[in-house]
Each structure stands twice: as structure tokens, then as C-alpha cells.
Structure 1
Amino acid sequence: MTTHIVFGLSSGASVKFALKLLNDEQVVVMVDDLMWGPLGNVLLEDIQELRFQWWGQVLTDEDILEDIPYLRESYKKFSEWTTALKDNDSLLFWIGDNPSEYTGLMCLLSYLPQSISVSVVMASNAYYKRYGKFKPRFMGEITADKILPLLEDSKILSPRVRERYKWNWMQLVEDSGNLRILKNRQIVTVSEDYFDEQFVTRAKKISKEKMYRKSDGFFPAARLVGDVIGHQKQMFMDVVIEWRIRCLIQMGLLSYQGSLKNMRLYSIKPVVD
């Protein structure tokens, strides 16, 4: 039986809908975003706990109450699936050009049984080759009706390629960082504040827009979150962008009005030197 592995809830929903007619195949979704946070063998409970603690520092109190229990339950189901794997099973990964899905692929290749056959659909390139015009960054940007034909582009990973991915993964683990990006077709570790300067630059541009003159340049924090998601080549979760906004406020680079309990409850503007 072939199991399709997808990273992220939106991507999982799209692939499940697209493959619902393939009765002998299942879709497994890894919810956790390994672009961010400490790394290790996420199939082990102590590494999962390490990641829960990190997410607890990133999420707002409101999000913690819902997201951490959900993440715990998703890991429990994922671990149960890995325990039930058999040597004659085969895996098919759906991977876009982004650090989240690449890092997830490398992690699972490093810790799942090597006897299991692994194939990959490099979805960004496969989509662009087939449909043109638009090159999606991740699976969640591909509509369900266009997913099934991409199966024709699936390729079995050779032992050499699998070893290369595993080497990249071990390098990331040794780096002991909390942020990974895709650079020159390689996943590399960078500092947590790697994108902060870009966030401040975008905030300055938004603050000068005509519609925010009456509010002295203050604009909704959610506006910057959406702006970053729309302009960044790297894929971002909104909760992580909002966390970095709160970090920039703590560093005195942004000022705010309102409550920091939720991104929709406060406005921000850059602090002018």
C-alpha cells in the first residue's frame, strides 16, 4: 500500500480531497512545521516535548490553549502510523520548494525504516512544467483538481539521494538553530532574527501609506503579517511572523497600541530614530 505524506494542514486537506478516489492509498499529514524550532528525532517523545516548549514561547497564550494540545494529538497519531509500517509499504512524499516541506522530508528519511521504498513528487516544478504561469511554493497553493495529474512526475529516491538528504538533516541537527531557509537548493540554518530587518522595512513602507496618516502611521499588525506572507519567497506561518513582530516590539524597533494577546487586537508602527 502507498502512503502519501504531506506537511501542513492546508496541504493535507488538498491532497486528501484530490486522492479520495484512490481507495487503496492513505494520506498522512505531519502538522508540525520543522522550518522553525529545535530539531532531532521527532518520533521520540523527548524531542516532541522540546518542540512543544519552544512553540509555547512563540505562541500567544490564546493560541497555546488550542494549538499545543492539537500538536500533541497529531504527533501521537503520527507515531502510531510509523509504528505500524511494514517493509512492503511504500511512501510518496509531496514536496514544494520551501524549507518546511524539505526539512520534513529529510527528517523522516533519517528515522523511518530504510527498507521502505520512497518516492517523491517535487510539486513546485511538476506543477509549473504541466500548467505553466504560476509556480507554487508549497502544496497548499495547489488546488485539489490539479494534484492528481502530478503523480505522473513521481520519482523513486535512489540510495544516493536519500543519503544526501540524510546528510543535510544531520548538519541541521548539529547546527542547533531554530530557523531554516531554502538557499541554493539546500536547507541551511540561520539566526531567528534573519528576517527581522525585512519585516521592519516593510512596516516602514506600510506606515507611510495615505490611509494610515490619520492614525499617526499606526496600522494593524495583521496587515504586516499578510504583507510578509504575500511577498516572501520563503513560506511562513502567520503565528511565527506575529511572534517576530512582538520580538521587534520588545527590542524597541516597533511601537504598538492595543493588546498583544492577539494580532488583530493591536496596531504597530516603526520607531523612528
Structure 2
Amino acid sequence: MIHIVNGVSAAAALKNTFPETADQIISLPIDFSVGPITAIHLEHGVSIRADWEDSSFHPLNNRSGEALSIYQRSLKELKEVKNGEQLTIWTCENALEQIGLRIACFLLAGKQLELSIVNTQQALNEYLKDQEIQQTVRHSGECNAKQLAHFYNYSSLPITKDKRTAFEEDGKNLLHSTSQVRTWKNGEILEEAETRDDAFIIDCIKGQVAESAGNDYVDAIRVIGEAYGLSEQPISDSWIDYRIRSLIEAGQVAFIGGLQSMRSYKIKAVD
């Protein structure tokens, strides 16, 4: 079995789930929900993505070099998938994994394969249906190995021919997308402005200032941690830091300290 999974944490969780099997895990570690993904399946698209991450994220926070290297290796592994193989694509209710699902299907187009899908949120709902406690996961990496093993055994569904065709077409269109931000909402991938999260981040800044016992400025890292924890869709700390610095440039947020790392400056919202 070949597993295709999006995100570093989700890939690590799957490796813990199948440590003693011959299953192959192909990881797509790029956050497809933000930044350029135009032609991200080709060398020049990967180069554009790398340039964007280098210019947007701090070198201390930027882990894109390793992620892009893994991603390029994964592209090669997807090309090498042979007819007749069995593949499971893991996804969840977020833009990152829904886009990854569609791009993976596009890259596998034309191959005679047995394709299945596991949606970890839907599987979790089924898993907990008779229990009083309900749980929501923002991404597959929030599931533990026991849950993932159960989902694989009991919640894996075949991808029909029509659904596979639709995913392939969506993937093709996404690889021509020129937007910088993409959101998963009501079963659709929506293209949005780069400023999508700015109002939410400013609310987090104001909330932290209000709780800081009269201090005008609060540590940026505290705001980043709160925004990371409270966001409905998974967003990275590097993305939040990037948007804070963009808000500083726009005059909507003031700062003291140095912007060389997310731990070295304090911020407040400008009224």
C-alpha cells in the first residue's frame, strides 16, 4: 500500500501508525493553502515557491528548504507509481489537505490504480458517534496512531471514477491558480486575498494587550501562539509572523524591538 499524506506532522503520525509494514508513505509537506502554487509540480514552479518563502519568512523560522527537498522527492515517487498499485490518499477538512488530494490525483492521472481516500475528520465523527465526547481536528496530524489505524481499517473509501476525474480537473485548475491564499469552506476551495487573516490577527493582538496588565506592547510570539491555536483552519507560525510584519509595514500594527525573529519584538494594534 502507498499512502499519500499532506503535512509534516501527518506524515510522522502515519509512520508511527505503520512502523513494521512495507507500506510506502509519500509526504507532500508544502502548505498549499498559502503562497504561490502555480505549476508547483514543475521545477520552475518549485523555484518560484522557494523564492516566495525566502522573501516572506525569516531565515530563523523558514523550514522551506527541507520541505521543498522532500516535496521534490515525493514528486519523483508519484511519477514512479506503477499501474496496478493500491494507494490511499489522506485528507481532512482544510485547504492544505484538500488541495493536496487534488494535486495528487492530477499527478496520478492516466495510471490504472486502486485509489482510496480517508477523510480523518469524517472518520473521527464516525469513530466517536456513540460517545458523549466529540472532537474536531484541524488537520490529520492531530490524530494519534490508534485513531489513524482504525480509520485506515474502517473508514477508507474507494475513489470512484467520476470523483477521481473531478479531483484531477480541480488539481489541474489549482496548478494554474494565481492567488496567494486559499480557504476550504462548505466543501469548496475558495481563493482569497492575502489579507484574509489580518483582522483575526489584530483581534488576537488586542486581546493579548487587554490581558497584559496595562502594558501597551505584548510579545509577538504570544500573539502568534494564540492565533495558531485559535484559527479554525491550520495556519503556520511563519505565516502569522509574515502577516504581522505586513501589518507593521501597512501602519496597522506598531512594534518595538528587532524584526529578525518572531521572539525579538513586541507589538500593539494601531487605533
Fold match, TM over 0.5?
Answer: yes
Equivalent residue, structure 2, for 1:228: 227
Matched, 1:91 2:92: no
Instruction: Compute the displacement of 1:41 (Å).
Output: 3.8
Matched, 1:27 2:9: no
- Report the Cα distance in structure 1 between the residues aligned to 2:243 and 2:168, rounded to whole angstroms: 30
Equivalent residue, structure 2, for 1:14: 13
Q: Secondary structure at the match of 1:257?
A: strand
Q: Is the 8 A contact 1:41 1:47 kept in 2?
A: yes
Q: Is the 8 A contact 1:126 1:150 kept in 2?
A: yes
Instruction: Compute the displacement of 1:16 (Å).
Output: 0.6
Q: Which runs of 5+ in 1 are unaligned?
A: none
- Report the Cα distance in structure 2 between the residues aligned to 1:113 and 1:144, rounded to whole angstroms: 30
Instruction: Compute the displacement of 1:259 (Å).
Output: 1.3
Q: Is the 8 A contact 2:39 2:175 kept in 1?
A: no
Q: Which amino acid aligns with 1:180?
A: R
- Select between 177-186 and 226-235 the one with higher mean Cα deviation: 226-235
Q: What is the number of residues matched between the two proteins?
A: 265
- Report the Cα distance in structure 2 between the residues aligned to 1:10 and 1:48, rounded to whole angstroms: 21
- Report the Cα distance in structure 1 between the residues aligned to 2:262 and 2:237, rounded to whole angstroms: 10
Equivalent residue, structure 1, for 2:115: 118
Q: Could you say what the CA RMSD is over the residues aligned between the two structures, in angstroms? A: 1.7
Identity of aligned residues (%): 24
Instruction: Compute the displacement of 1:175 (Å).
Output: 4.2
Q: Secondary structure at the match of 2:19?
A: coil
Matched, 1:179 2:176: no
Matched, 1:103 2:102: no
Instruction: Compute the displacement of 1:258 (Å).
Output: 1.1
- Report the Cα distance in structure 2 between the residues aligned to 1:233 and 1:174, rounded to whole angstroms: 26
Q: Which runs of 5+ in 2 are unaligned?
A: none
- Report the Cα distance in structure 2 between the residues aligned to 1:170 and 1:77, rounded to whole angstroms: 20
- Report the Cα distance in structure 2 between the residues aligned to 1:24 and 1:34, rounded to whole angstroms: 28
Instruction: Compute the displacement of 1:227 (Å).
Output: 1.3
Equivalent residue, structure 2, for 1:129: 126
Instruction: Compute the displacement of 1:160 (Å).
Output: 1.1
Query: TM-score with structure 2 length normalisation?
Result: 0.92
Q: Is the 8 A contact 1:172 1:188 kept in 2?
A: no
More helix by share: 1
Equivalent residue, structure 1, for 2:206: 204
Cα deviation 1:193-231 (Å, max 9, x = unaligned): 01111211221122111x341x3x211111111111222
- Select between 153-162 and 168-177 the one with higher mean Cα deviation: 168-177
- Select between 105-114 and 258-267 the one with higher mean Cα deviation: 105-114
Instruction: Compute the displacement of 1:48 (Å).
Output: 0.7
Instruction: Compute the displacement of 1:97 (Å).
Output: 0.7
